[in-house]
């Protein structure tokens, strides 16, 4: 049996009192051993920051295992759930305190990223690949299928942690993914 999926709609401008929660962006306590900052900006087609976007990440731990334990909404400070949520600020910035994911089943390590925003009618998926392992990145089927300029939009930049900007539109438009074929 195959059912037709329910359509998406924009998250709108008024989600801030409902979706954010205490500790939403801290998959591990900031400053705890092994913690890094995954951060960046969400920008529109004119390069203007998007102050009403919501970014979610889903990831493996450093051991390459994707956690399936509960507890993200009431974090206890010890359980790594591998999922987080961060709303952008007035400058379009988001940031997570998390661990660097390891590769799952070999291959290149990445964060799965889901983006919502006012003005965006349906969620967008992308990946933020962990930089550094050039051989693994070169061998990744998705990255290998892209021209160099587009490939670069998917690889986080090592700076103060890992920086990953999301360009919804424009010359630097991020590569967004379709996991299900044409709608």
- For another protein, the binding residues in 51-80 under the rule CB under 8 A are 56, 58-60, 66, 68-74
Token readout for 95 is 């940031």
Q: Is 23 in the site for another protein (CB under 8 A)?
A: no
Q: How far is CA 52 from the centre of its chain?
A: 16
Q: How far is CA 85 from the centre of its chain?
A: 9
Beta bridge mates, 167: 43
Q: Would you give the DSSP letter of residue 28?
A: S
Choices 28-36, 38-46, 88-96, 131-139 (CB under 8 A): range interacting with another protein: 38-46
User: Which residues lie below 8 Å from residue 28, measured CB to CB, with a gap of 6+?
Assistant: 34, 35, 80, 97, 98, 99
Cβ-based nearer residue to another protein, 159 or 180: 180
Q: Is 104 in the site for another protein (CB under 8 A)?
A: yes
Residue with tokens 């295992």: 65
CB of 52 to another protein, least distance (A): 8
Cβ-based nearer residue to another protein, 95 or 115: 115
Cβ-based nearer residue to another protein, 14 or 31: 14
Q: Can you tell me which of 31, 90, 105, 134 binds another protein, judged by CB under 8 A? A: 105
């Amino acid at each position: 049996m195959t059912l037709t999926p329910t359509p998406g709609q924009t998250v709108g401008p008024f989600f801030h009192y409902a979706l954010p929660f205490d500790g939403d962006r801290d998959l591990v306590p900031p400053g705890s051993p092994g913690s890094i900052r995954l951060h960046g900006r969400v920008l529109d087609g004119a390069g203007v920051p998007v102050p009403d976007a919501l970014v979610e990440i889903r990831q493996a731990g450093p051991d390459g295992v994707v956690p399936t334990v509960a507890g993200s909404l009431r974090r206890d400070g010890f359980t790594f759930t591998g999922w987080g949520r961060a709303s952008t600020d007035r400058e379009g910035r988001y940031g997570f305190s998390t661990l660097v994911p390891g590769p799952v089943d070999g291959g290149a390590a990445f964060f799965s990223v889901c983006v919502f925003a006012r003005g965006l009618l349906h969620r967008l998926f992308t990946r933020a690949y962990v930089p550094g392992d050039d051989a693994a990145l070169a061998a990744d089927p998705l990255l290998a299928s892209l021209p160099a300029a587009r490939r670069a939009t998917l690889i986080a930049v090592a700076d103060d942690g890992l920086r990953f900007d999301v360009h919804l539109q424009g010359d630097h438009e991020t590569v967004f993914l379709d996991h299900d074929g044409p709608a």
